Structure 1
Amino acid sequence: MSTNKLKERLDKGPVICAEGFLFEIERRGYMSSGEFVPMVSLDHPEVLENLHREFQHAGSDVVEAFTYNGHREKMRVIGKEELLEPLNRSALKIAKKVALDTPKGSKPNLMAGNISNSNIWKHNDPQSQKEVEGMFTEMIGWAVEEGADMLIGETFYYAEEAFKALEIMKKTGLPTVLTISPMGENKMRDGKSVVDTCKELEQLGADVVGLNCFRGPATMFPFLKEIRKAVKCHVGALPIPYRTSEDYPTFFNLPDRSNCACPSPHGRTFPTALDPHFCNRYEIGKFAKDAYALGINYLGVCCGANPMLIREVAESIGLTVPASKYRENMENHFMYGKNKRIPKHMTEYGDKA
């Protein structure tokens, strides 16, 4: 009997994975932007649990433990290294609780342990690489102990760091997702091409390879087309919901609008002044539909995601989810609707407004 629940589901159809907890928790007032350390699992666990439930309600099949940036190096930066293990275990327990608590009659969601870019990996530097290996090993160990069904390694911009992450993940025997995040150079920071990195990740045994974060639909999709052609395994597509472009391929370098009256005090839109660049739900839905048409079954949204966008991903590929009950119904709008009870003078005004 196969134990790879993720691959079984992907072989049958789409799997939705909600990411983007950093931005959404910060928007809700429970995280410091820029610092981006997920202390919420210790400070306000009920907030994190509720967000997981909202994403699940919107159609996410994966409950990804919020341990992004919850690694030893980040905890050292903020001077709270002693809280490293409690933070990780709390986040994992919350994710497992929500994953098992699905609506009656539906199968449990998959709980995913998570590791991410360390920010200290350095090319040709064995000392930094050994330190990163230790960080990944302890986090993956806690994920296994807390009952993870799968493991996600994400947001790697060094190919070699992604390979090391996958090597450690594979030792557990759990299903593995490895998504990379090329910077504006359109290649990995250690020189390897994006497509070649994904090909090597497949050869090393990843169940899903692909892209997450940094890039919006416009600058992620071209790479996805190449990756889908180059690999036989499942492909993951989790963009940011921001309007990146050929001139500005990632959200790190998106410019302020020329008429912005209150530019960000740190001189760039990332991460606190990206609002004018936000994609609407229909753009995200089109991206998901187009990616699914390519044969990409592992879909989601990364930094900037919210439950409404996850619902849009699910519905755009033909799924009905619990939150579909509350999708838009303009038929009953007081000014734009066609319901016979809406006064004619209001609809006439709406036609002119």
Structure 2
Amino acid sequence: MENKRRKGILERLNAGEVIVGDGGYVMQLERRGYVKAGHWTPEAAIEHPEAVRQLHREFLRAGANVIQTFTFYCSEDKLAISGNVTNITGAQINEAACDLAREVANEGDALVAGCVSKTPCYVKSRSETEVKAIFKKQMDDFLKKDIDFFIVEFVDHVEEALWAVEVLKSSGKAVGATLCISPHGDMDGVPPAECAIRLVRAGADIVGVNCHLDPLTCVRTVKMMKAGLDNAGLKAHLMIQPLGFHTPECNFGGYTSLPEYPFALETRALTRWDVHKYAREAYNAGICYIGGCCGFEPYHIRAIAEELSAERGSLPAASEKHGLWGAALDMHTKPWVRARARREYWENLLPASGRPKCPSMATPADNYEK
């Protein structure tokens, strides 16, 4: 695979291909005992490479076309305030994460995205020089390795995302920029449409949203971004990688304001059928890069690939065992379970929580940053 020229991300998108992104890393690895909750820094790429490699591999098998480097929050300032007592450097993590992602991506026809995220430095100083220096250092680490394009992710101030895009575009590689914002806009009140316009004018080739809010809310936000670009006469590909949980109570500040964050979110998890609906809604909205963030496990990514299998022209290897829409249940010994081997059953199911007197909603904390 190394000797075969890989079609780039823009080549694929320009040809009308549907790109399936991978899922969340920090939350899945925390649940498996490899990442510290709250801080979410990626030293596991050095300390437990086998865990990161396995998660990459499961996302690839589920149908992902892109493997993101496990480099979330990998800036020296974030590592320092997160209790980095092992003295692992950002450069070491970035380079190891690139190697892991490339190793697994080469097992299929997947691309590697070098990822940067927001920095504590931005909120502390708002210094363009300091923040850009951090992004430049990360970019230089990635360019020592074989990555295909860049993604700016999990940024809630569009100004910081613009600075990241400006730095990464100097590499000559394609850049995607995703904000963790709601339909209300970024943390400074800049509306989604204006955010998209600024990102594209800064050089972003792909724009969209990621994390913080549930899929259908994120679809709404990207639609607003698309409308802004259309009205401004600007062109860019659209991307979405939402949260893997239902968050109806917190559609401004995001899931970190929920009382269940981060250790009791399981009852809010999306079913694979929720993801089928999300994938179709996103595709119908004109979004062609569709993946997931925190809470998205491999079976969720498989659901995206299955829902869009006709558009993609194939099913992932991970679909071989169970078939589409639970078809494998047709072989079950119980007749009432066999009756569930059909799309109509799962599309119309209203799942129960199984928890007596479980509230349908929670009261989010109101002290998140605005």
SS at structure 2 position matched to 1:139 = helix
Give aligned pairs, total.
317
Query: For the Cα contact (< 8 Å) 2:69–2:113, is it kept in 1?
Result: yes
Residue correspondence of structure 1 range 311-326 to structure 2 within 5 A:
311-318=302-309, 319=312, 320-326=315-321
The answer for the alignment partner of 1:292 in structure 2 is 283
SS at structure 1 position matched to 2:257 = coil
- Is 2:201 aligned against 1:203? yes
Instruction: Show CA shifts across 1:137-169 (max 9, x none).
Output: 111111111111100100110111000000011
Distance in 2 (CA, whole Å) between partners of 1:88 and 1:198 is: 28
Instruction: Show CA shifts across 1:250-279 (max 9, x none).
Output: 21233xxxxxxxxxxxxx211111112112
Greater alpha carbon shift after TM alignment, 171-180 vs 225-234: 225-234
Query: For the Cα contact (< 8 Å) 2:192–2:224, is it kept in 1?
Result: no
Q: Displacement, 1:47?
A: 1.1
SS at structure 2 position matched to 1:228 = helix
SS at structure 1 position matched to 2:255 = coil
SS at structure 2 position matched to 1:36 = coil
Query: For the Cα contact (< 8 Å) 2:210–2:293, is it kept in 1?
Result: yes
Opposite residue 186 of structure 2, the aligned amino acid is M
Distance in 2 (CA, whole Å) between partners of 1:284 and 1:29 is: 26
Q: Which runs of 4+ in 1 moved over 4 A?
A: 246-249
Query: For the Cα contact (< 8 Å) 2:180–2:211, is it kept in 1?
Result: yes
Q: Measured at CA, do residues 4 and 321 of structure 1 come closer, stay the same or move farther in structure 2, by a change above 3 Å?
A: closer
Distance in 2 (CA, whole Å) between partners of 1:247 and 1:170 is: 34
Distance in 1 (CA, whole Å) between partners of 2:113 and 2:99 is: 11
Residue correspondence of structure 1 range 334-345 to structure 2 within 5 A:
334-335=333-334, 336-338=336-338
Query: For the Cα contact (< 8 Å) 1:4–1:175, is it kept in 2?
Result: no
Q: Measured at CA, do residues 187 and 226 of structure 1 come closer, stay the same or move farther in structure 2, by a change above 3 Å?
A: closer
Q: Displacement, 1:241?
A: 1.4
The answer for the alignment partner of 1:10 in structure 2 is 13
Instruction: Report percent identity of matched pairs.
Output: 28
2:84 is aligned, of 79, 102, 112, to 79
Opposite residue 294 of structure 2, the aligned amino acid is C
Distance in 2 (CA, whole Å) between partners of 1:292 and 1:170 is: 27
Opposite residue 50 of structure 1, the aligned amino acid is Q
The answer for the alignment partner of 2:166 in structure 1 is 167
Opposite residue 43 of structure 2, the aligned amino acid is M
Instruction: Show CA shifts across 1:151-208 (max 9, x none).
Output: 010011011100000001100011111000126x822122311220111111222111
The answer for the alignment partner of 1:22 in structure 2 is 26
Distance in 2 (CA, whole Å) between partners of 1:26 and 1:126 is: 30
1:230 is aligned, of 220, 228, 231, to 228
Distance in 1 (CA, whole Å) between partners of 2:188 and 2:129 is: 17
The answer for the alignment partner of 1:53 in structure 2 is 57
Query: For the Cα contact (< 8 Å) 2:193–2:227, is it kept in 1?
Result: no
TM-score by length of 2: 0.81
Distance in 1 (CA, whole Å) between partners of 2:251 and 2:190 is: 21
SS at structure 2 position matched to 1:252 = helix
The answer for the alignment partner of 2:97 in structure 1 is 91
Greater alpha carbon shift after TM alignment, 74-83 vs 34-43: 74-83
Gaps of 5+ in 1: 103-107, 255-267, 340-353
Instruction: Show CA shifts across 1:268-291 (max 9, x none).
Output: 211111112112111111011111
Greater alpha carbon shift after TM alignment, 67-76 vs 330-339: 330-339
Query: For the Cα contact (< 8 Å) 1:218–1:245, is it kept in 2?
Result: no
Q: Displacement, 1:131?
A: 2.4
Instruction: Show CA shifts across 1:266-318 (max 9, x none).
Output: xx211111112112111111011111012110000100111000000111112
TM-score by length of 1: 0.85
Cα RMSD (Å): 2.0
Residue correspondence of structure 1 range 106-185 to structure 2 within 5 A:
108-122=109-123, 125-127=125-127, 129-182=128-181
Q: Displacement, 1:4?
A: 7.5
